[in-house]
A and B are shown apart, each in its own frame.
Chain A
Amino acid sequence: MAVTAGATQGRQWRLWALVPIVLIVGTVLLVAAAGGSLVSLVGSNAPQPDEFDVRRVVFEPGEIRVRVTNPQQDDITIASVAVDDAIVPFTLDGPAELSRLRSSTIVIPYTWVEGEPLAVGVTSSTGIETVEEIPAAVETPGASGRSILGYALIGFLVGVVPVAIGLLWLPSLRRAPPQWSAAFMALTAGLLSFLAVDALSEAASLQAALPSALGGAGLVLLGVALSYLGLTFVSLRLGGDAKGGGARLSGFALATVIAVGIGLHNLGEGLAIGSSFALGELALGAFLVIGFLVHNVTEGLGIAAPLAEDRNVSLTRLATLAVVAGAPAILGAWIGGFLTNDLLGVLFFAIAAGAALQVVMEVGRYVARRAPGGLTSGHVLGGFITGIAVMYVTGLLI
């Protein structure tokens, strides 16, 4: 009997859960039906700013293409377009009247001057002009075989190469005394902490530029939570111990988790490089690539550190780790270079931040377990600080 009652209750809880849902749907319908009369009780709505959100400006020979989105509640109509304060004829690839979050591309026949600044103004039917200033007009790379290869090479250079080189610290790490191994593990945690903060600040600044309707701050939290909890789940699976407050990962398993965390960060990094270059905000020179090379070499060291105790790591496995950690930079560069979507950027950086934070936790547990003297030994503290400092100093190169 008791079992039956329990089973019935088990089904009933689902039914009861529907009560508030039905009520909220009913209330929403009522408020929607009441419409503006609710607002008129307290005053009247201020007019909307009628500003467009300029998503992308693409320069092609004899043509400028401007992607605009309506970020506000009310519809906006594209009425007039000016380049450098001169009204220009244009055509629209999309509707002129944009409802909330809808986009159109404005196509302007225009002989722009290479390397000179330029301002595109889009005026709504209410006369409000949204001006997008481009610091220097440069032809936007299209998705040709050449540019696909180019972005791949850049991603490879700033992602895979430094990680692979960094992994070659492994023979040295294997011969190091235990307290020094612990110091290097702590260094890994330090540099990952740096990456987490770095990614979080990138996500925060990108979301600030998004139209408020897209709810950027919540998106950052979503990305962080998603990757943090996702990686926690993966770690528990790899460690096989759900009890005792965390997984007990083997050296290789931990290295894999670190590689995934770093890989997610490099995805964001590739995206940032690709989109900044595509938007003409970044000069992609040898200096920048060198900067990323030096900066990311420490990421290889971070992956190598937990492998020091694992004697049976084949070269193939090492190569796999390098690819897992580095190759996402290639993917990121492609996405950034050809798509340029701020929303994706926010999400990617938030995911990277969450992943890095989670990996810091895993490394912390590992160090606490293995290090002579635990988490508070001089080597560990020194290593952690050094990790952050190294990332900061090499970051200055970029």
Chain B
Amino acid sequence: MSKFSRLTRRQLVVSTAPAIAAFPLAKAGMAIAGGEETQHAHAADRVALSHAAMIGGEVPAPGAPGDLDALLLPSPAQPHARGRVREYTLVGIDKDIEIAKGVWFPAWTYNGTVPGPVIRATEDDLLRVNFVNGGSHPHTIHFHGIHPADMDGVFEIVHPGETFTYEFPARPAGMHLYHCHSTPLKKHIHKGLYGAFIIDPAVPRKPAQELVMVLNGYDTDGDGGNNFYTVNGLTFYYAKYPIRVRRSQTVRIYLANLTEFDLVNSFHLHGDLFRYYPTGTGDQFEYTDTVMLCQGQRGVIEIDFANTGNFMFHAHQSEFTELGWMGFFEVVD
């Protein structure tokens, strides 16, 4: 389905549709993430651009090509089928992650990544999320959306070594999120326990090149302020490895802000405008190039690129941009 992925600028093979996004989300027992990744040409043969441009191989970003595919590219939406069980397993893992080039953050993760895996279901699916706390602190999973009070991830604290299964019908359709709700809340969230939660409407959205972007920050020195900002967890990752998309099809981004400490984050696109559907729950949209998101706010963006070429996207807080929250779309025909 997705005929796009990140390829290097010089790579000639364009539309071979590599088997990406085949992440077995719909299947039971989604174990620790980081399994299959599509292998792309390496950064070494990338055109080295000037420092000022901050694009390509020279950019100080951690990670290798394809590292974030599981977080960027959601599994395809499933057709509506009332009562179908969608089962996921999330494991709480304490893990040091290289979040900026050479900088390691002692994170608390779901399945070993920050943000955690994308959870996707269709409206009226029965969502069953098995949580195994393999970390060193008590955690929970608190989902946004409609569900019973005893499935809210507030009262049922899961201690290290314990498990808990969250089960509720997926609704309403929209872009949601999940995060740990143990206290101290600020600590549990900013350490990395959060992720995107997509509920597809019963009537499918029109086909698009779908992406997930979770905005976050890292307070690496514990002073109550973020030292780094990212989209999907790694600073400047999409500046080093631009996201390749095709002009001919709509690009749909499921966007969520899980930045701690800073009240507001934002998404700004260069060279074009997009439709922004707040929380992705309705048809109302704003046609703009900049959206502002408070902590926990999210929405769905749809871009129909008018031109090809490299288009930057970043927080319009310049500070966040220059501390890692910046990337590029490489729009091709």
Contact = CB atoms under 8 A, between A and B. Distances in A.
A86 B323 contact: yes
Chain B interface size, as a band, is 20 to 34
B243 to A, nearest CB: 20
Interface of B: 51, 58, 60, 100-105, 218, 220-221, 227-228, 235-236, 318-319, 322-324
A313 interface: no
A129 interface: yes
Interface of A is mostly: strand
Interface of A: 77-80, 82, 85-87, 89, 96, 109, 123-129
Nearest to B220: A127
Contacts of A79: 100-103
A48 to B, nearest CB: 13
B221 A127 contact: yes
Q: Which of B101, B221, B235, B236 has the most CB of A within 10 A?
A: B221
Contacts of A86: 318-319, 322-323
A87 B105 CA distance: 17
Given A109-B51, A126-B104, A82 B323 contact: yes
Nearest to B96: A126
Contacts of A124: 103
Given A109-B51, A126-B220, A127-B227, A87 B102 contact: no
A378 B284 CA distance: 96
Contacts of B228: 87
B102 A89 contact: no
Nearest to A123: B103
24 contacts: A79-B100, A79-B101, A80-B60, A80-B100, A80-B103, A82-B322, A85-B322, A85-B323, A86-B318, A86-B319, A86-B322, A87-B228, A87-B322, A87-B324, A123-B103, A124-B103, A126-B104, A126-B220, A127-B105, A127-B218, A127-B220, A127-B227, A128-B221, A129-B227
A124 B218 CA distance: 14
The 7 closest A-B pairs by CB, nearest first: A127-B220, A79-B102, A86-B322, A79-B103, A89-B51, A128-B221, A127-B103
Nearest to A50: B221
Contacts of B103: 79-80, 123-127
A80 B322 CA distance: 12
A94 to B, nearest CB: 15
A77 B220 contact: no
Contacts of B324: 87
A89 B59 CA distance: 8
Contacts of A87: 60, 100, 228, 235-236, 322-324
A116 B221 CA distance: 27
Contact of B104 (A89, A96, A109, A127): A127
A96 B236 CA distance: 21
Contacts of B227: 123, 127, 129
Nearest to B323: A87
A124 B60 CA distance: 14
A123 B319 contact: no
A333 B221 CA distance: 39
A46 to B, nearest CB: 14
Nearest to A78: B102
Given A79-B100, A86-B322, A127-B103, 5 more contacts: A79-B102, A85-B319, A85-B322, A89-B51, A125-B103
Contacts of B235: 87
B221 A80 contact: no
Contacts of A126: 103-104, 220
Given A89-B51, A89-B60, A77 B102 contact: yes
A51 to B, nearest CB: 9
A86 B60 CA distance: 12
A118 to B, nearest CB: 14
A353 B277 CA distance: 73
Contacts of B58: 89
A358 B101 CA distance: 56
